[in-house]
Amino acid sequence: MPRAPLAAQLVGRLLGLAIMAGAIAAAAYVGMLYYVYPRTDDAYVRANSVGIAPHVGGPIVKLPVVDNQHVKEGDLLFVVDPRPYRSALDAAQAKLDLTNLEIKALQDAIAAAQAEQKRRAADAAYAAQYLARIEPLLKRHFVTANDVFDARSKARAAQAAVDNARSAVRQAHNQLGQYGDINARRKAAEAAVYDAKLNVDYCYVRAPFDGYVTNLNIAVGQYANEGREVLSLIDNRTWYVMANFRETFLSHIRPGMSAEVFLLSYPNRRFRGRVQGIGWGLYQENGATVAGLPQVEPTLNWVRLSQRFPVRVILGPNNPEYPFRMGQTAVVTIQGYR
């Protein structure tokens, strides 16, 4: 078989070297992209959701929203029958009015007790002065011992009456319940009115933020229990992607890095995001505590799979033409600091 020309052999060798160099360069480039710009398709769109539950119980009498409806902060979601709570408010307001009248009566009683105390003090002063005048006369026999004894008894009785009047004043002050500028009676009645007003307001359940109504499976007439969820509200203010990256990529991911996000729902549409943070822990059954003792599986895996940690990527503003939905499948690539 004739040998190939030297030039052809040289071209063949150069071509082989070029292919090998290209393969090495491509492998290095792919490896750089793989680690410098980590990528995962194990990612899903998320948003915070809140279960809406009433603070008071009762039948639902108004339900102006439907499932999957967008609502704004302050929009009415549903109304619990407010009639019993309005009745309680009227009773609390009446109790407050009555308390104010009682306080006025107690203030008048205090004024009367103080006036009585002054009268008793005047009587005691007169009795003491009379005793002081007649005691010197006993030695000169201008008065009898019985007169002096009677004057002393009256002075003691007058002083006792002053003490009783002073005690009556203190008792009236205690019944009034006044502590500085605050009257405890009125404060308690006002607190009851405030609580009753809150319960009336709680009958009208409103959206705490802009969002989407979901899981609405009730109708007017349904009894709403206090503290039990009636519907859920998806927070439309902040959307994010929970991207699960292998632990070998975490050294190349930092909070604040920009991210490129593609959603299967919108092919060829690119979204931007920014890394908020990286998860710090995963639950593992192997090593969990059971009955106070560590549970360790009696197996040995020769192939060790890298764990995946959740990385939260905050998405940019929501575009009404391409709305985000919880659970959308995403592909996330970390772009570094941009």
Q: Residue 46 burial (CB < 10 Å; 0-12/13-18/19+)?
A: buried
Can you tell me whether residue 63 is helix, strand or coil? coil
| 112 within a domain of the structure (yes/no) | yes
Residue 162 lies in a domain: yes
Judge whether 153 lies within some domain.
Answer: yes
Count up the domains in the chain and report the number: 1
pLDDT of residue 1: 47
Q: Is the dihedral of CA 110, 116, 119, 124 positive or negative?
A: negative
Which residues of the chain fall below pLDDT 70?
1-4, 6, 8-9, 27-35, 138, 176-177, 179, 287, 290-291, 299-303
Task: Tell me which residue of 287, 326, 332, 328 sits closest to 310, measured CA to CA.
Answer: 332
Domain presence at residue 136: yes
Domain enclosing residue 150, as ranges: 84-200
Tokens representing residue 237 in the block: 């203010």
Would residue 213 count as lying in a domain? Answer: no
Give the C-alpha separation, 219 to 216, whole Å.
9
Which pLDDT does position 302 carry in this prediction?
64
Does a structural domain hold residue 100?
Answer: yes
Q: Is 245 exposed, middle or buried (0-12, 13-18, 19+ CB in 10 A)?
A: buried
Query: Is residue 147 a part of any domain in this protein?
Result: yes
Q: What's the pLDDT at 269?
A: 92
Report pLDDT for 330.
96
Q: Does residue 212 fall inside a structural domain? A: no
The model's pTM: 0.70
First to last CA, the chain: 62
pLDDT of residue 297: 74
